[in-house]
């Protein structure tokens, strides 16, 4: 039996074991997907263990998407560009870092959100690894303006600077005074952990309904719970909503293919994730 797992801290919310194990079982693969809850001071030891011949690699989630990079042997082009890794693949003892968040987010935005970001104004909440991936996607797709809001404004300004001179990017705090509806955003994406089940901020929305323009698309990368505090605020404001499950599955499908070389069974993965989240499976593909 070979093993693969998810590295993060905490991990009580994760449904990755459910849908990835379902995918391995669907193909009849002798692989076990494990949960490796890893505080920051234990990250090095866990990553070193991935060099073992029985390890396929790992998914990487908060707070390790940037911290893991120095521990790897090489990075894919998307991971280098973004500066964040959410997937590790063991290639005969050499560890490759990948970023599948970029492709996963864009597919979810276009297919499930039915949203074309070209020429639109976007608000990005957060400045961590997921925010870096989303920011790069939105700029590559030609957004007219990107505002990055973070609880610590210095981190938002650093991410804006990292995105390059000349990019249509600004940085603000999460204070309501900085997030007036006058921003005219067509798209709002939450990349923070506010609203995440079993977290300190699980009952909090990063912004109130008063800061959400009616008709905007509000996308929350938090998928557990399926309806987050932010999505409830968005509905009050008359905005459209997109939860984080499609992006989770799409990035996980790309991970599955990189680990195994086999096509990911999307329907099986969606069904398993929905069962784990206790929500009706109304998706046929």
The span from the CA of 118 to the CA of 135, in Å, is 13
Residue range(s) in the chain whose domain bears CATH number 3.40.50.720: 102-243
State yes or no: pLDDT of 284 exceeds 50: no
Average pLDDT of the segment spanning 29-44: 98
pLDDT of residue 181: 57
Task: Tell me if 215 sits within 8 A of 255, measured CB to CB.
Answer: no
pLDDT band at 240 (very low <50, low <70, confident <90, very high): very high
Residue range(s) in the chain whose domain bears CATH number 3.40.50.10860: 2-99+246-277
pLDDT of residue 182: 56
pLDDT of residue 165: 84
Who's near 149: CB < 8 A, 6+ residues apart?
123, 124, 125, 126, 156, 171, 172, 173, 174, 178, 179, 206, 207
pLDDT band at 198 (very low <50, low <70, confident <90, very high): confident
Name the nearest CA neighbour of 281 among 267, 264, 265: 267
pLDDT in tens, 144-172: 999 999 999 999 999 999 998 889 999 99
The span from the CA of 162 to the CA of 89, in Å, is 26
pLDDT band at 214 (very low <50, low <70, confident <90, very high): very high
Q: Checking phi first, is residue 178 left (phi over 0); if not, alpha (psi -120 to 50) or beta?
A: alpha
pLDDT band at 79 (very low <50, low <70, confident <90, very high): very high
State yes or no: pLDDT of 281 exceeds 70: no
State yes or no: pLDDT of 268 exceeds 80: yes
The span from the CA of 88 to the CA of 59, in Å, is 6
State yes or no: pLDDT of 282 exceeds 60: no
Q: Secondary structure of the chain in the HEC alphabet? A: CEEEEEEECCCCCCCHHHHHHHHHHHCCCCEEEEEEECCHHHHHHHHHHCCCCCEEEEEECCCCCCCCHHHCCEECHHHHHHCCCCEEEEECCEEEEECCHHHHHHHHHHHHCCCCCCCCEEEEECCCHHHHHHHHHHHHCCCCEEEEEECCHHHHHHHHHHCCCCCCEEEEECCHHHCCHHHCCCEEEECCCCCCCCCCCCCCCCCCHHHCCCCCEEEECCCCCCCCHHHHHHHHCCCEEECCHHHHHHHHHHHHHHHHCCCCCHHHHHHHHHHHHCCCCCCCC
pLDDT in tens, 247-265: 999 999 999 999 999 999 9
CATH class of 2-99+246-277: alpha beta
Task: Tell me if 6 sits within 8 A of 57, measured CB to CB.
Answer: no
pLDDT of residue 230: 98
Pair type for strands 74-75 and 31-37: unpaired
Task: Tell me if 84 sits within 8 A of 133, measured CB to CB.
Answer: yes
Q: Determine which one of 65, 203, 235, 262 is catalytic.
A: 65
CATH topology of domain 102-243: Rossmann fold (3.40.50)
The span from the CA of 167 to the CA of 78, in Å, is 18
**28-37, 107-116, 187-196, 198-207: which range is least confident on average?**
198-207
Catalytic residue flag (residue 120): no
């Amino acid at each position: 039996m070979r093993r693969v797992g998810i590295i993060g801290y905490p991990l009580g919310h994760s449904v990755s074991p459910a849908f990835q194990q379902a995918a391995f079982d669907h193909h009849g693969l002798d692989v076990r997907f494990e949960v490796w809850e890893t505080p920051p001071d234990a990250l090095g030891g866990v990553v070193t263990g991935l060099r073992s011949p029985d390890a396929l690699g790992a998914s990487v989630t908060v707070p390790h998407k940037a911290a893991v990079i120095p521990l790897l042997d090489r990075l894919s082009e998307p991971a280098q560009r973004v500066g964040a890794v959410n997937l590790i693949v063991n290639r005969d003892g050499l560890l490759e870092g990948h970023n599948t968040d970029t492709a996963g987010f864009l597919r979810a935005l276009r297919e499930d959100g039915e949203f074309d970001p070209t020429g639109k104004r976007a608000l990005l909440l957060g400045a961590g690894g997921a925010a870096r991936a989303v920011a790069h996607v939105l700029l590559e797709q030609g957004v007219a303006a990107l505002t990055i809001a973070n609880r610590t404004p210095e981190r938002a300004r650093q991410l804006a600077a990292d995105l390059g001179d000349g990019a249509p990017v600004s940085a603000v705090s999460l204070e309501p005074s900085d997030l007036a509806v006058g921003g005219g955003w067509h798209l709002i994406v939450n990349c923070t952990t506010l609203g995440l089940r079993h977290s300190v901020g699980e009952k909090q929305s990063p912004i109130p309904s008063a800061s959400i323009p009616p008709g905007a698309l509000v996308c929350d990368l938090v998928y557990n719970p399926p309806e987050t505090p932010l999505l409830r605020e968005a509905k009050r404001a008359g905005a459209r909503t997109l939860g984080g499950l499609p992006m989770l599955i799409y990035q996980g499908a790309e991970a599955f293919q990189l680990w195994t070389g086999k096509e990911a069974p999307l329907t099986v993965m969606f069904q398993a994730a929905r069962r784990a989240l206790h929500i009706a499976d109304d998706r046929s593909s």
